[in-house]
Amino acid sequence: MENGAVAGPSGCLTRASLAVLVLKEKGEDWVMKAFVSILSALALCVAAGCAKKEQVDTVKLEASFSTAEPAKKSEVDKVVASVKSQDWAGATASLQRLAADAKLTEEQKQAVKDTLEQVGKVIKDTASKAVGEADKALGDAQKSLGK
């Protein structure tokens, strides 16, 4: 991440706190401007997080493990549940556990790899959007101050 930004709401708060420091130097009414800037940054972060549900297709993964042993099916069920709840860390962990199994068929290995790539893309896209929104919020706050 550039400029020390962190993806997600905590990154937005970091950007908002930077805006407060900028505002503090500008004069008496900095409190109101800081409040408005922080509120705007938080609203943008919430909007970025809720605006669009990212899609990961688990059909191929589920199909390739349909006749697998119960432990592997259970791990696939965890992946599917994690994807549905957008728990990307949980999905990644389960997929990595599956990938470490030496007894997977070629079809299963490919399905795990493809799903892991999709989850990675969603994580990357989500982080990029959060950074972009935070940068926009900071820029808007600076513009409102007249630099």
24-38 pLDDT per residue, tens: 555 555 555 555 566
74 and 119 together in one domain:
yes
Residues 105 and 83 grouped into a single domain? yes
3-state helix, strand, coil in the chain (%, to 5): 75, 0, 25
Q: How many domains does the chain contain in total?
A: 2
Regarding whether 66 and 8 lie in a shared domain, the answer is no
Q: Which domain holds residue 71?
A: 59-125
pTM: 0.57
Best CA proximity match to 61, nearest among 73, 70, 71: 73
Same domain (yes/no): 120, 95: yes
Answer yes or no: do 70 and 107 share one domain.
Answer: yes
Closest-CA residue to 21 (of 141, 116, 114): 141
- Both 73 and 106 in one domain: the answer is yes
Give the residue carrying structure tokens 């900028």. Answer: 22
Indicate the pLDDT class of residue 7, thresholds 50, 70 and 90. Answer: very low
Q: In this structure, are 68 and 45 located in the same domain?
A: no
